[in-house]
Amino acid sequence: MADDLDLVTGATGLIGSRLVQRLIDQGRSVRALVRPHSDVTRLRQYGVQLVTGDLTDSMMVRRAMDGVDRVFHCGALVSDWGPRRQFQQVNVEGTRHVVVAALAAGVQRLIHLSSAAVYGYPRTSQSIDEHHPQRLRKIPYIETKVAAEQLVAQAIRCEGLPAVILRPVMVFGPGCQNYVGQVVGHLRRGSMVMFDGGRHVAGLAYVDNVVDAICLAGSVPEAMAQTMNVCDDSPITWRQYIDALADGLGVPRARFSIPSTLAYAASMPCEMFARWFRLRQRPWLTRMAVLELGQSQIYDITSARKVLGYAPAVSFEQAIEATIQWVKRDNP
């Protein structure tokens, strides 16, 4: 087995790309499993070994795993809308392929990036820890992230897979489209709509802070077989976050708000209409979008603090400034 060789799936995504850069800075050799049409310019500049393939192809996953020391499984289909079959293929079957290949290759550690979405966005004022029950809500992303995590957990229990499961919350920062690009687009068009006045805690997790946790999970001995929440542990609300983006870009703040209960009720016929007519474009409202922005996301990161020694290093003010600078540079 080659020394200091890491495999990163999802290496061109928001988290994966930052993780690759961090690993290279640490002197690690990095291999990435990338889809045929991905932009790999930056990965080539870093000297990353590239294996062209897909998580849904078990043979390519095995090939990418050959001789690997650690695996950082960041690859997933992350969206509030899309065909259930596609979520199943990428998030569940893709993770199954990673687990099977990791066991066969005898890797020293697998870090599986799950999601706080597995809790199903419970409506509670209490901080949610890792023992909180999971809820599927019949939403494909949530269902498949739960199923993928269960595959990893079962392999840990039954086959001795040396793995760590992390559950990031709302990951944002330079390169983020879901919580930055789309929000900025709505702010610039004057079409941004908040739920309940944006008063809910957003549960933000700045991408570099998440990468800190991932790197710790890859090296701290006590992390093995643990499942941990990861976020910035910040009381910032969606109103504060979205206003900070608007002010930093010099565009008007969001003016419109609707009750989250009304928005959730409206999201169901929106989704039904899109499914019936097989629309490729996401509906105006989705249940998952309302759940994310329409109730507080408060997650307990005590486990990550104790086990990993994790502490969010980048403040909200620093994070939002870096994010705004990225928008101005790459999305003027």
Domain locations along the chain: 5-175+203-234+298-314
- Is the pLDDT at 3 greater than 60? The verdict is no
The percentage of the chain sitting over the pLDDT mark of 70, rounded to a whole number, equals: 99
Residue 291 has pLDDT above 60, yes or no: yes
**Over 80: is that where the pLDDT of 1 sits?**
no
Per-residue pLDDT at 125: 81
Does domain 5-175+203-234+298-314 bear CATH number 3.50.40.10?
no
- What pLDDT, on a 0 to 100 scale, did the predictor assign at position 331? 77
Q: What pLDDT digit, counting tens, does each position of 173-195 carry? A: 999 999 999 999 999 999 999 99
> In which element (H, E) is residue 165 found?
strand 163-168
Q: What pLDDT is stored for residue 61 in this prediction?
A: 98
Mean pLDDT across 123-150? 96
The per-residue pLDDT for range 299-330, each reduced to its tens digit, is: 999 999 999 999 999 999 999 999 999 999 98
pTM: 0.97
Query: Residue 2: what pLDDT?
Result: 43
Band (332; pLDDT cuts 50, 70, 90): low
Q: pLDDT tens-digit profile of 233-270?
A: 999 999 999 999 999 999 999 999 999 999 999 999 99
Q: Give the model confidence (pLDDT) of 48-107 as tens digits.
A: 999 999 999 999 999 999 999 999 999 999 999 999 999 999 999 999 999 999 999 999
Give the model's confidence band at 227: pLDDT under 50 very low, under 70 low, under 90 confident, else very high. very high
Q: What is the pLDDT of residues 193-218, one digit of tens each?
A: 999 999 999 999 999 999 999 999 99
Question: Mean pLDDT score of the chain, rounded to an integer?
Answer: 96
Q: Is the pLDDT of residue 15 over 60?
A: yes
Lowest mean pLDDT across 14-18, 123-127, 149-153, 235-239: 123-127
